[in-house]
Amino acid sequence: MTTTLREQGIESIHDQVVSLVAQRWAKAFHCKVTIHTGLEQNPWADPNQQCDIVGWYVTSGGNTMEWMAEVETEDSLADSQTVANWRRAVARGVPFYLLVPRGTREAAQKLAQDASVMFSCVYEYTFMNDICHIL
């Protein structure tokens, strides 16, 4: 999956990846998607839900979370608070995805394993010629 990164107002690598993945996965999963970036701080339905990206749909019983994803940078993977954030974000029975910079997948998986956090899949992202590639 690739796209260029020239969206208005998006400055950080984190927010660029969040925006890209949200756009792509909204189409792939055919659901509503809410993001949590420096520009947009409105969680999908629950003020305590702090995932970077949440895929959800509306049912007669209210909003239902379909999947969620966290985007990390090299700096955030080194932050001691990151694993605690993952633990708080986990929702039983909801697929949880992680996106990390290329070359950091094994380190991220070890952090998750040591913290007993299970991700449905860990993806890597990289930038080549101002294009973001999700691997």
Q: What pLDDT was estimated at residue 116?
A: 94
Question: Which of the four CATH numbers 1.20.950, 3.10.540, 3.40.1350, 3.40.1710 does domain 2-134 have?
Answer: 3.40.1350
Segment 56-104, tens digit of pLDDT: 888 888 888 899 999 999 999 999 999 999 998 888 899 999 999 999 9
Query: 3-state class of 135 per DSSP?
Result: coil
Q: 111-135: per-residue pLDDT in tens?
A: 999 999 999 999 999 999 988 899 9
Of the listed ranges 18-32, 37-51, 97-111, 117-131, the least confidently predicted one is 37-51
Res 6 pLDDT > 70 = no
Residue 47's pLDDT is: 56
pLDDT of residue 2: 42
- Rg over CA atoms, the chain: 14
Query: What is the distance between the alpha carbons of residues 40 and 62, in angstroms, rounded to a whole number?
Result: 22
Distance CA 101, CA 81 (A): 18
| Of 22 and 11, more confident | 22
pTM of the model: 0.86
Q: Per-residue pLDDT for 5 more than 60?
A: no
Amino acid residing at 51? C
Q: Are 57 and 67 in contact (CB under 8 A)?
A: no
With a CB cutoff of 8 Å and minimum separation 6, the contacts of 74 are 101, 104
d(CA 135, CA 124): 5
Tell me how far the alpha carbon of residue 62 is from its chain's centroid: 23
pLDDT confidence of residue 78? 95
Q: How confident is the model at residue 3 (pLDDT cuts 50, 70, 90)?
A: very low
Give domain limits for the chain. Answer: 2-134
